[in-house]
Amino acid sequence: MTNYAMKIKNLTKKYGDFTAVKNLSLDIEKGEIFGLLGPNGAGKSTTIRTCLGLLSKTEGEIEILGLDSHKDAIEIRKRTGYLPGEFGLLDGISVYTYLKYLLRLSSVKSDEKLKDLAKRLDLDLKRKTNELSKGNKQKVGVVQALMADQEFIILDEPTGGLDPLMQQIFYEILREEKEAGKTVFMSSHVLAEVETVCNRVAIIKEAELILNEHISTLQDMTGKVLEVEFRHKVDPSAFEIEGVTDIEVDDRKIRMTVTKDIDQVVKRVADHRVINMNLSTYSLEKLFLRYYSNGGVVENEKEGVAIGGGVK
């Protein structure tokens, strides 16, 4: 039995002379939440739709749940829940009627999970589909992707239109799906949600994959962020030492990224009177922006090597 829910090898999708996805390779392990990160137009939706056979690939190989994505497309869809980036609804029927109709297309007979998801997401099943706000339409999309209890869940920009409270509930639901042994593959341009729920993340830039790594590994490679508020103004040059980068000054506050030997930094801090001090993980958002501004290469000063420039 394979340990991978999805294996993509050298996937390329072209529209004439335009390349939407170029030579993309990645593996998604069973039981993980995997995030495909990139701005709109980077190639995320094209990758997902090609994997599901909704678009024909130009080159490459795609295997989902041990099956060929082209030859076994029907069997794959039976075992896969999918939320497209642009989710459409039939007008003039109740939400429950619509979802129940979709549920009948699966092998699941009980609507218990359908109702439970709707309750948790505060979705009124009695409402007509044409009366729904954008956020409630997205809730319908989330419910239909999860209600049939399939083993592989593919979500394209799943939180679009959801308010912050509903986003948090959605993240809780995803974690529960993972604990139940499900695999989740989600695309997003919302950096915070990828950092919150994903085990691994891949960054796609201009149709090419430029990074594929565990979240914890990325945060370890990029160091910690230290923010210190001093009682008096302090000369920031005191912290211009090896392993310290991105020094920012705001009156009596100094913020810096520490990539190694934090002990020597704390000793420098101790030379001054401190009001408050906070140490946090490096933001994935900053990492993402550095990838896009540095041509896909971020210097890992902790190890003296570069991250990026290819797929791990």
CATH of the domain at 53: 3.40.50.300
Total domains in the fold of the chain: 2
Residue 204 and residue 139 share a domain = yes
Token code pair at residue 263: 């002990």
Q: Does residue 72 surpass a pLDDT of 90?
A: yes
Q: Please state the rounded mean pLDDT for residues 299-305.
A: 38
Q: Rounded mean pLDDT of 27-36?
A: 95
Low-confidence winner among 261-265, 276-280, 296-300 (lowest mean pLDDT): 296-300
Contact 235, 247 (CB under 8 A): no
pLDDT above 50: residue 96: yes
Q: Who contacts 257 (Cβ-Cβ below 8 Å, separation ≥6)?
A: 222, 223, 224, 225, 226, 244, 245, 246, 282
Q: Is residue 304 part of a domain?
A: no
Assess whether 228 and 201 both reside in one domain. Answer: no
Q: For residue 206, what pLDDT is reported?
A: 87
Would you say residue 298 has pLDDT above 50? no
pLDDT tens-digit map of 181-218: 999 999 987 777 788 899 999 989 889 998 888 887 77
Say yes or no: 231 and 204 in one domain.
no
Asked whether residue 262 carries a pLDDT value surpassing 90, the answer given is no
Query: Predicted confidence band at 41 (pLDDT cuts at 50, 70, 90)?
Result: confident
131 within a domain of the structure (yes/no): yes
Does 219 map to a domain? no
For residue 292, the model assigns a pLDDT of: 64
- Is residue 283 pLDDT above 70, yes or no? no
- 137: domain range? 4-213
Which CATH number goes with the domain that contains 270?
3.30.70
Identity of the amino acid at 106: S
